[in-house]
Amino acid sequence: MRIGLGKSRLGGWLLVATAGAALLSLAVLPTPAQAPAYKAPKTKDGKPNLNGIWQANNEANWDIRPHAAYQGPVYTLGAAYSTPAGLGVVEGGEIPYKPEAAAKQKQNFADRLKLDPEIKCYMGGVPRSTYMPYPFQIVQGTGHIMIAYEYAGAVRDINMGAPTKAPADSWMGWSNGHWEGDSLVVDVTSLNDSTWFDRAGNWHSDALHVIERYTPIGPDALQYEATIDDPKVFTRQWKMSMPLYRRLEKNAQLLEYKCVEFAEEVLYGHLRKQPLQGKGDSK
Amino acid sequence: MRRYVLSSLIALAVVSLVSAPVFAQAPVTAKPAPAAKTWTMPRTPDGKPDLQGVYSNATTVPVARPAYLGAKEFYTDEADKAASAAQAAAGRGGRGGAAPRAAAVVEPEGGGLAVHYDTSQFGLGGPTVKRAASLRTSIITGPEGRVPPMLPEVQKMVAEKRAYQQAHQWDSAQNRPLAERCITWGFEGPPMMPVGYNSTLEIVQGQGYVAIVQEMIHDTRIIPTDGRPHAPSEIKRWMGDSVGHWEGDTLVVETVNYNPLVVIQGAPVSDAAKVTERFTRIDPETITYQFTVDDPKTWTKPFSGEYNMVHIDGGLYEYACHEGNYGMANNLSGARATEKK
């Protein structure tokens, strides 16, 4: 953040020649506060128009922290399903775990084949659903904004009216939204403790409170920011941010990834009458 | 919302509860709007009829018309309807006609045990649910008021599949019905049919799209209305591939390319299946929903249906079916334990 501010404050003749380069670097900086002033097109009722099919294009799915490439958890899958390196999406790079929580993350990682809720086709939760390698669609209604995710058919209904309270915890949480300038700000509460942040076992408790910001930074990109608060697991609030990109295919649409079918063998295969032969070594 | 319910009971319960007598006492909350004369169609900012909101499509109207009503498509009034229900209850299918079965009695995949599952205990169904008023004698419209027969070869296929399932029903998770596996509930359609409980859906309209979320089991259909063609037919989906357009103030949605395991009214869909739905808002709180199922490789002729859905307050809740499906592991391990005895 400080770096970004410094760059944007630099002015004068010195920078004329490098202005283009500076803009480029600004664009990849994680904070939308410093994003070039872009005025989003509006819907007919005057709201920033976020309608569209969006997708992250980064490696947060594997690990939200900076990480080098490493071998995947099933060696027989070789190079095809190993982990690509990523710069990370956590501001500052580090997740401020309490010591015992950091130990649990390591345990989660070690046992990820057994524990990762993604393997079981459980709904991804917030914010993980945003940067899984599947598109999601924003359908911007007048009183409610719907976000439908291709992965597991998960869906969120963002209430844009007077804030309401969740009746119970859930996988995708309870979302109340409002506009701040061109940003859609969503307050997400009542998330359960069963989702993760990524495939690396980064985790949270049921005290998780997420504040999301979706800010248009160009006709085909949003800056996504999620402020994470969970006093049971972290020593302080922290933030992740990343651009999201519009799917520009002419016939872009959300398809189905109803993954229950793909998870049944790993969940229930050991309870089969006849063991499944020759299809992987999951059980 | 998580529901820690034995999922093996759910599909069966849906079937059994909808015919429970408690439905007969359900209050009719939606009245034909007296203010209809002054009501004007609300519109979204881009001028389309505004269908947005949360709706209940629960109904006491049965899918198929009781045989003793013949070609009578409507009751004359509430008294006529009540008299008919009393007659059916007394006769229990006597005089050549079965007692009326409430909506959504068609089992997703066949097979059924009579399991008591009183959803009114949990505030999920029964008299706690708001329903649109209706004098219809059946959801299926026309003089016959019931789905036509399947083609003989399809009947044979269905019977064979059923026999196989009966013999192998506990072999693996994949042998269980789709609803029990939490893949589809069997009522999502299209055509969307009322469900025994949580018969609720939400409509949101964005620019060029209408999205419909059905609470059971958190299924979202996003319907483009920008004139685009269907996706390539290689892509089969559990709820098919829907595209829509507006005809006057009616949203017309055409759906093709269903996953071949999908069942509509007891019959597997074919690759020729086409379902057309029409959504028309008729008053401040009611949408009339009409559908036609045309699948010449399955049914002897097309059939159509109609019901009203009524606006309800409150939101849609998360039905995390698969995530709480403890019943699957419990049932299978029970079956394995039984085999060892």
Q: Is A258 on the interface with B (CB under 8 A)?
A: yes
Does pLDDT of B114 surpass 50?
no
Substitution target from B2, B52, B218 for chain A, most A beta carbons within 10 A:
B218
Please check whether residues A13 and A48 belong to one and the same domain: no
Residue type, B311: H
Residues of chain B contacting A282 with CB distance shorter than 8 Å: none
Interhelix angle for A19-28 vs A2-9, to 10°?
160
Does pLDDT of A238 surpass 50?
yes
Mean pLDDT value across residues B137-149: 96
Q: Residues of A numbered 72-111 whose beta carbons fall under 8 angstroms of chain B's beta carbons: which are they?
A: none
In a domain? residue B95: no
Mean pLDDT value across residues A198-223: 98
Please check whether residues A90 and A10 belong to one and the same domain: no
Residues of chain A contacting B328 with CB distance shorter than 8 Å: 267-268
CA of B215: which chain A residue's CA is closest?
A155
Which residue, among B336, B261, B219, has the nearest Cα to A268 in the 3D structure? B336
Based on its alpha-carbon atoms, the radius of gyration of chain A, rounded to whole angstroms, reads 20
- Containing structural domain, residue A22: 1-30
Name the maximum alpha-carbon separation found in chain B: 71
Please check whether residues A1 and A102 belong to one and the same domain: no
Do residues A81 and A213 touch, judged by C-beta distance below 8 A? no
In a domain? residue A14: yes
In a domain? residue B114: no
The C-alpha atoms of residue B270 and residue B253 are separated, in whole angstroms, by 19
- Containing structural domain, residue B275: 7-64+101-107+132-340
In a domain? residue B308: yes
> 3-state DSSP call for residue A57?
coil
Span of A269-273, B127-131, B291-295 with lowest mean pLDDT: B127-131
User: B110: Cβ–Cβ under 8 A, 6 or more apart, which residues?
Assistant: B158, B161, B162, B165, B177, B266
Please check whether residues A260 and A150 belong to one and the same domain: yes
Residues of chain B contacting A142 with CB distance shorter than 8 Å: 44-45, 50, 52, 205
Spell out the alpha helix ranges (H) of B150-253.
152-168
Please check whether residues A26 and A43 belong to one and the same domain: no
Residues of chain B contacting A41 with CB distance shorter than 8 Å: none
Q: Pseudo-torsion of CA B229, B233, B237, B243, nearest 10°?
A: 10
Quote the percentage of chain B above a pLDDT of 90.
Answer: 68
Cα dist from A142 to B46, B143, B199, B207, B293, whole Å = 11, 41, 23, 10, 32
Which residue, among B158, B4, B179, has the nearest Cα to B104 in the 3D structure? B179
The C-alpha atoms of residue A123 and residue A129 are separated, in whole angstroms, by 8
Count of structural domains, chain B: 1
Binned at pLDDT 50, 70 and 90, residue A205 comes out as very high
Q: Is A267 on the interface with B (CB under 8 A)?
A: yes
Q: What is the pLDDT of residue B91?
A: 59
The angle formed by the CA atoms of residues B78, B83 and B86, to the nearest 5 degrees, is 125
Mean pLDDT value across residues B314-336: 94
Residue B316: what are its φ and ψ, rounded to 5°? -95, 140
Residues of chain B contacting A53 with CB distance shorter than 8 Å: none
The C-alpha atoms of residue A232 and residue A221 are separated, in whole angstroms, by 34
In a domain? residue B214: yes
The C-alpha atoms of residue A185 and residue A196 are separated, in whole angstroms, by 22
Q: Is the peptide bond before A158 cis (omega within 30 degrees of 0)?
A: no
The C-alpha atoms of residue B147 and residue B166 are separated, in whole angstroms, by 25
Please check whether residues A82 and A20 belong to one and the same domain: no
Residue pLDDT, tens place only, B33-92: 555 568 999 999 999 999 999 999 999 899 999 999 999 999 999 888 888 888 777 754
Give the number of beta-carbon pairs within 8 Å between A and B.
141
Count other C-beta atoms under 10 Å from residue B270's C-beta: 15
CA distance to partner chain A, nearest, from residue B54 (Å): 11
Binned at pLDDT 50, 70 and 90, residue A125 comes out as very high
In a domain? residue B280: yes
Strand order of the β-sheet with B303-311 is: B219-224, B209-214, B200-206, B53-56, B303-311, B286-294, B274-283, B250-256, B241-247
Which residue, among B238, B59, B197, has the nearest Cα to B140 in the 3D structure? B59
Mean pLDDT value across residues A107-122: 97
Residue type, A16: V
Which residue, among B155, B159, B141, B129, has the nearest Cα to B29 in the 3D structure? B129
Q: Is B318 on the interface with A (CB under 8 A)?
A: yes
Please check whether residues A89 and A21 belong to one and the same domain: no
The C-alpha atoms of residue A156 and residue B211 are separated, in whole angstroms, by 12
Give the length of chain B.
341
Q: What is the pLDDT of residue B100?
A: 42
In a domain? residue A276: no
Residue B253: what are its φ and ψ, rounded to 5°? -125, 130
Q: What is the pLDDT of residue B118?
A: 59
Please check whether residues A23 and A139 belong to one and the same domain: no
Whether the pTM exceeds 0.90: the reply is: no
User: A43: Cβ–Cβ under 8 A, 6 or more apart, which residues?
Assistant: A49, A51, A140, B45, B207
Please check whether residues A60 and A200 belong to one and the same domain: yes
Q: What is the pLDDT of residue B314?
A: 79
Instruction: Find tokens 């095809």 and name the residue.
Output: A80
Q: Is A140 on the interface with B (CB under 8 A)?
A: yes
The C-alpha atoms of residue B264 and residue B140 are separated, in whole angstroms, by 13
In a domain? residue A282: no
Give the length of chain A.
283
Q: What is the pLDDT of residue B120?
A: 58
Please check whether residues A102 and A63 belong to one and the same domain: yes
Identify the DSSP state of A170.
Answer: B
Which residue, among B18, B325, B57, has the nearest Cα to B183 in the 3D structure? B325
Count of structural domains, chain A: 2
Structure tokens at B238: 């559990």
DSSP H or E stretch at residue A7: helix A2-9
Does pLDDT of A232 surpass 60?
yes
Q: What is the pLDDT of residue B181?
A: 97
Mean pLDDT value across residues B231-253: 97
Identify the DSSP state of B337.
Answer: H
